[in-house]
Amino acid sequence: MTATAAIFYLKDGYHTSGQKLYGRQAASEGFLKGLVNYGMSNCLYCYTAEQSGFTEFCEQIKPWLTQERNVEWLPYDQPQRLSQPGVLFRPDSVITAMVWERRFVDQRAYSLCGLTHSIASKDAMADLGKLLLAPVQPWDALVCPSPAVKTVVERLWEGWSEYLAKRTGGKLQQEMKLPVIPLGVDCAAFPQGYQRQMIRRSLRAKWEIGQTDVVVLYVGRLSFSTKAHPAPMFIALERAKQATGATIHLILAGWFENEAESDSFRDCAQAFCPSVITSCMDGRSPDIRTNVWAVADLFMSLADNIQETFGLTPIEAMAAGLPVIVSDWNGYRDSVRHDIDGFRIPTVLPPPGVGLDLAWGQLSETLPYGAYVAHTAMTTAIDVDACTQALTTLIANPELRARMGASARQRAAQVYDWSVVIAAYETLWQELAEIRAIAPEAVPLAPNEPPYPLVDDPFRLFAHYPTTQLSADHRLKLGAMAAPEALYALRHIGITGFGTERRLDVSVQDTILSAIAENGSLSVSTLLSRYVNGNPAALVQTLLYLLKFDILQLEHQEP
């Protein structure tokens, strides 16, 4: 049986059609499409709270299904069924609650597989810190799309573990795996050859770009605070224009968070690259996202933000056959080969110890997250001279652009195509299954131990509140409210019928009441032996519910 995973599905996390388009959404949508197209399992599993979510899942994947597949819904309230696929995949790192939830079922029943995206916020780092305390298992994994983000996670865990060792006297070890699997791209979706040339000619004519003009492309959210400050790019482009004399167009394909930032970008372009023809296009438009690559001669992204962890758009540019100029920064460092697929531009960051004011601001919330990463980015320097040289070299050398673009496309197909990435995930999931079968269980659950001590069984945590607790020795008899009309009212009034799903079926309740009436009274142990139906908790809760409304009464024993 081919290893696969159930998909934790929330529509917003997998769609790129909203007014705000984020990299995590594009990556998750691509992952889902890749799993449908290239996954080897004959069944796709969807894990949602409501059937409506499953319906949305089916609608989304329908256009991608090229072969007959079983598609199965696994509801949230039936987590034991996750043992069928064996893995639950969530496209973010917020999996701590799921780790604890699994402990209510069976820690060996299935693996959990998360995926890191941006981890710079205090909430994201807190979620990662919680994993160190949660009952994660050796058969769980948190996928890092780049070695850069893996290093951050390891550094975060090491520092938190050191603190906890000082606080508690024992250092914690993290059990889960941290494999590096990159985000992917559908290389076939980027036109090449004759088709690309036709799109290029048509759109250049439509956008009034000369066929021999040089087009530099940036794709992504247009935000100086959370993506990349545009000024170094603008300055380098102006210098390259002056050095080469070429007619240069800069296309910014993305979207702005607000009108003020839009105005500021345009003011910045006018101030720092007035000789470059700059245009902004809506990168949320499917037509733009699909076709703008064919118009460009090279791609450029000088990310300077700690929110970035991988960088998907340079991979898309490589798949489109474009040479790329990127900052030597986090995931870009691993995806783009310097002097082969394009150029990586050196970056400089302040030394450790001078940013504690920023850390305090984020913790105290006197510095909102956007401001926190913006202030950090404002002290990340890009080597503008090196960028100018890279631009000048590529602008002046069409043959080099073609050679680097071909190398970039080959690398994208060999390393980042979804067919390769999905295969890597399936290999990981199979490895997790093998580990799950033989590895010792971390923090095994002892009998009568709460699965999650901070959210315990209320009947255990608050056991000292009542006069007594129902026991197997208690005998139950019919109460004064056991008449049919009282039962009917009880079950059909909202506030007295509440919680039906946690009690035994009405027909079983009636059978229990009839048996008690016939015998005068019955012990709880007798009822448990007769009517438990595999769910003793539901039976006991049902008995207390009937006691609450005087349908049943405790039979008092003579001393």
Other Cβ atoms within 10 Å of 286 Cβ, number: 9
Q: What is the mean pLDDT of residues 133-149?
A: 95
- Distance, in Å, from the CA atom of 117 to the CA atom of 124, rounded to the nearest integer, reads 9
Residue 436 is which amino acid?
A: R
Phi, psi of 464 (to 5 degrees): -85, -5
Helix axis angle, 524-531 to 506-519, nearest 10°: 140
- Distance, in Å, from the CA atom of 192 to the CA atom of 547, rounded to the nearest integer, reads 74
Residue 80 contacts residue 39 (beta carbons within 8 Å): no
| Tens-digit pLDDT profile for residues 281-311 | 998 888 998 999 999 999 999 999 998 889 9
| Tens-digit pLDDT profile for residues 321-360 | 999 999 999 889 999 999 999 999 999 999 999 999 999 9
Q: What is the pLDDT of residue 341?
A: 98
**Could you give the count of Cα atoms lying within 13 Å of 325 in the half-sphere of its Cβ?**
28
Instruction: Reply yes or no on whether the pLDDT at 18 is more than 70.
Output: no
Instruction: Reply yes or no on whether the pLDDT at 496 is more than 90.
Output: yes
Q: How confident is the model at residue 27 (pLDDT cuts 50, 70, 90)?
A: confident
Pairing of strands 475-478, 381-382: unpaired
| Tens-digit pLDDT profile for residues 370-412 | 999 999 999 999 999 999 999 999 999 999 999 999 999 999 9
Q: How far is CA 293 from CA 196, 240, 253, in A?
A: 9, 21, 10
Q: How far is CA 270 from CA 139, 264, 267, 377, 481, in A?
A: 54, 10, 5, 22, 82
Residue 540 contacts residue 470 (beta carbons within 8 Å): yes
Pairing of strands 277-282, 298-301: unpaired
Residue 158 is which amino acid?
A: E
pTM over 0.75: yes
391 Cα distance to chain centroid: 35
Instruction: Reply yes or no on whether the pLDDT at 81 is more than 70.
Output: yes
Instruction: Reply yes or no on whether the pLDDT at 558 is more than 60.
Output: no
| Tens-digit pLDDT profile for residues 30-75 | 999 999 999 999 999 999 999 999 999 999 999 999 888 899 999 9
- Distance, in Å, from the CA atom of 9 to the CA atom of 38, rounded to the nearest integer, reads 19
Q: Which long-range contacts (CB under 8 A, 24 or more apart) does 543-550 make?
A: 543/470, 543/476, 543/512, 544/470, 545/499, 545/503, 546/479, 546/509, 546/513, 547/470, 547/476, 547/479, 549/481, 549/486, 549/490, 549/496, 550/479, 550/480, 550/481
